[in-house]
Amino acid sequence: MNVLVVGRGGREHSILMKLAESENVSSLYAAPGNGGIAQHATCIDINETEIDKLIDFAKINKIDLTIVGPENPLLEGIADQFKEAGLKVFAPTKKAALLEGSKRFAKELMQKYGIPTAGYATFTNAEKAKEYIHNSGAPIVIKADGLASGKGVVVAETVAEALEAVDSMLVNKAFAEAGETIVVEEFLIGKEFSLMAFVHEGNVYPMIPARDHKRAYDNDAGPNTGGMGAFAPVEDITSDIVSYATTEVLQKTADGMLVEERPFTGILYAGLMQTADGPKVIEFNTRFGDPETQVVLPLLENDLLQVLLDVQAGKNPQLKWEKRTALGVVVASNGYPGHYEKAIPLPTIKPAKNTYVVHSGTKKVAGKLVSDGGRVLVVGAKESSIELASQTVYEALKTIDTEGFYYRNDIGGNS
């Protein structure tokens, strides 16, 4: 089969690395791809949201299946338009992708179908939001309703911080349309984990749980990022917890979307907090997570293409997982998640046993790989334990020249 993956990040590189193992794949394409992806697929100079161009490419090149990585094209209706053009796509429709595109919609769906989540209220009026915050106290969480490139969430430790976040979103329009409505949420106490599943309408097939580290610096200090590293599976998330989260969160969500006439096909990602009362939803994504995909897919024993085909055909893909731990550390540009330079030559990472490298923000210039984003690489390892995986990754990282880049030294610590 000819397969096209839409996207340019580490998530897409991981998907393509897994697809490259399949005997059923004859040609792999990525649009637009990145410098590392070019090792596994033909990169096409079409951006993720240039949907008409992607459709034309898929028709001309007889693409049998398109897989969509990032959220923006999903919310612009890429799946709907591909289907209308008679093309097969593994991705949720625009109506189904609203589960990620609107936090308000997601919260209302959870409330309606009894899906465990934090208490909340939504506001378009700053004064009413502030009154609610004064009555609730801190810590408290303020979220922009729409997509804000991962920056639309403020975990406010104090009431003053929460009020400032309200002004930023509703008064100063920091996130433009994405922040015209805000969700104010109860602060949940516990340990976070992510649970992704392959979903087709009412059929839900969970993957293994993962945990990522969101703060920029060691000991969970510094600003929130898109994720500075991750590992899977997660020892403290037992099979009973996964079973509960699958039944009470993922399955109820898939069933609720069917009732709402928004049938879901694609990857359903639940960001969860394991609280004293069990797992509660922090957020939903309607695609593979990043950097969780970079540690989950390497442990999948199945042929990924066959899994996607089976799921869409209504068959159980019978998922099998390696009995090992995968851990990945993000190498980021200095200054990330704030201002950072691009086009810095990439550090050379010597291949070592049980390690792998995923490209997140790279491109080739004059035949040389350079940085092209905030998160640049993920250096990962698969070992028999989290301790060994961590040791292997950090030994590999010690050999690189980090001028222009940084990484956390404690991914997987206090796991």
Q: What is the pLDDT of residues 155-191, one digit of tens each?
A: 999 999 999 999 999 999 999 999 999 999 999 999 9
195 Rama class: left (phi>0) / alpha (psi -120 to 50) / beta: beta
Q: Are strands 191-200 and 265-275 parallel, antiparallel or unpaired?
A: antiparallel
Q: Summarize the confidence of residues 212-230 as an average pLDDT.
A: 93
Name the burial class of residue 161, with classes exposed (0-12), middle (13-18) and buried (19+) by CB atoms within 10 angstroms of its CB. Answer: middle
The pLDDT of residue 47 is above 70: yes
Amino acid at residue number 71? E
Mean pLDDT of 231-254: 98
pLDDT tens profile 276-293 = 999 999 999 999 999 999
Average pLDDT over residues 222-231: 93
Q: Tokens 């898109």 belong to which residue?
A: 226
Predicted local distance difference test score (pLDDT) of residue 248: 98
- Cα 371–chain centre separation: 21
Q: Quick check: 346 and 376 in contact, CB under 8 A?
A: yes
Mean pLDDT of 262-276: 98
What's the pLDDT tens digit per position in 381-390? 999 999 999 9
309: left (phi over 0), alpha (psi -120 to 50) or beta: alpha
Burial of 127 (0-12, 13-18, 19+ CB in 10 A): exposed
pLDDT given for residue 415 in this prediction: 56
Q: Across residues 61-68, what is the average pLDDT? A: 98
3-state secondary structure 8-29: CCHHHHHHHHHHCCCCCCCEEE
Where do we find the tokens 């998922």? 319
Q: What residues pair up with 28 in beta bridges, in sequence order?
A: 3
| Over residues 142-153, mean pLDDT | 88
| Region 81-94 average pLDDT | 98
How much is the average pLDDT of 207-220?
96
pLDDT at 399 over 90: no
The 10s digit of each residue's pLDDT in 360-372 is 999 999 989 999 9
Residues of the chain with pLDDT > 90: what percent? 93
Write a three-state SS string for 159-178.
HHHHHHHHHHHHHCCCCHHH
Give the pLDDT band of residue 148 (cuts 50, 70, 90).
Answer: confident
What residue ranges define each of the domains in the chain, with the CATH number in brackets?
2-93 (3.40.50.20), 119-186 (3.30.1490.20), 191-312 (3.30.470.20), 325-406 (3.90.600.10)
pLDDT over 90 at 224, yes or no: no
- Residue 408 exposure: Cα atoms within 13 Å on the Cβ side: 29
Grade residue 113 by pLDDT with cuts at 50, 70 and 90: very high
The structure tokens 């993720």 sit at: 48
